[in-house]
Structure 1
Amino acid sequence: MHYRPMTIDDYDAAVALWQQTPGVRLRDADSREGIDRYLRRNPGLSVVAEAEGRLVGTIMGGHDGHRGFVQHLAVASSHRRLDIGTRLVRRCLEALEREGIQKTHLMLLADNETGKQFWTRLGWEPRHDIALYSFILNGSPNA
């Protein structure tokens, strides 16, 4: 398995993987332009896994200078149960820590039971003391 920073050249393969991964929802912000902007703003914090030259895993990481955020962790069904997801998370968190980030959040779809089990197994804890609110600036239902 080869792990390396994600680049915009990985976009098509990453989107194909995300579309096949239960629990990953794509939005307008996941356009090529949106992902390119994210990767440029957070260089070296998103990671891909490759097997035999094929992208089989992704995680996107970023921060606001205060807290880290991870999203789009996905592993191809053909490569699950090989510790790839755990290794992607570790590499992403190590990169965030090098940036001085000590606490990282993620958002998980409420019905993603597999995701809940995975993240809990890695030591992540659900928050019950905060609520997430969103505001859509452009009015798009898929923003």
Structure 2
Amino acid sequence: MIDLQIRAATSADAEDVLTFWKESAEGTSISDDVNGVTRLVERDPEALILAVADGRIVGSVIAGWDGWRASLYRLAVLPSHRRRGISTALLRAADERFVALGGRRADAMVLEANETGQRLWTAAGYQREDRWRRWVKPLTG
């Protein structure tokens, strides 16, 4: 078992988070830049939860709470560190955050093509909800 630290990200982690996501996360987001990560942690300092081992980010999840919904994004684990309980530890931290804030249900964004991710979410107790589809509109040109 590795010595794992679960902690909230800070603005100083932004570059390292982006490097980690390029290696470990499926897909990209319009907010995948230093300003996007920095805005997230400045607006909600507990939302971006990191798993750190030996000073290196090995896992992440964004546990966003808007006062109404508990939403999970960017659950990712470094490929060399998968199947060691890191995603379980991150989701436990997210659940604890949501319960403390009054959350009643957590929703997870999972890419349709990410079969590994879908198996992980299923194993974590999440169920696919087919009656909903995500609709998006970029707010910048």
TM over 0.5: same fold? yes
After superposition, the C-alpha distances for 1:56-113 in whole angstroms (9 at most, x for unaligned) are: 1111111221001111111112211110111101101211211111111121111100
- The equivalent of 1:116 in structure 2 is 118
1:6 to 9, 21, 34: 9
- Structure 1: which 5+ runs fail to align? none
Q: Equivalent residue for 2:21?
A: 18
Q: Which residue of the partner structure matches residue 33 of structure 1? A: 35
Q: Which runs of 5+ in 2 are unaligned?
A: none
d(CA) in 1 for partners of 2:100 and 2:47?
10
Higher mean C-alpha deviation, range 119-128 or range 55-64: 55-64
Query: Quick one: percent identity of the two aligned structures?
Result: 31
Q: Is the Cα–Cα contact under 8 Å of residues 45 and 96 in structure 1 kept in the other structure? A: no
Q: How many residues align?
A: 138
Q: Report the counterpart of residue 106 of structure 1 in structure 2.
A: 108
Give the 3-state SS of the residue equivalent to 1:58 in structure 2: strand
Aligned CA RMSD, in angstroms, stands at 1.4
What is the TM-score normalised by the length of structure 1?
Answer: 0.89
1:58 aligned residue: 60
Q: Show the counterpart of 1:82.
A: 84
Change (3 A) 1:96 1:45: farther
User: What is the CA-CA distance between 1:135 and the residue it aligns to?
Assistant: 1.7
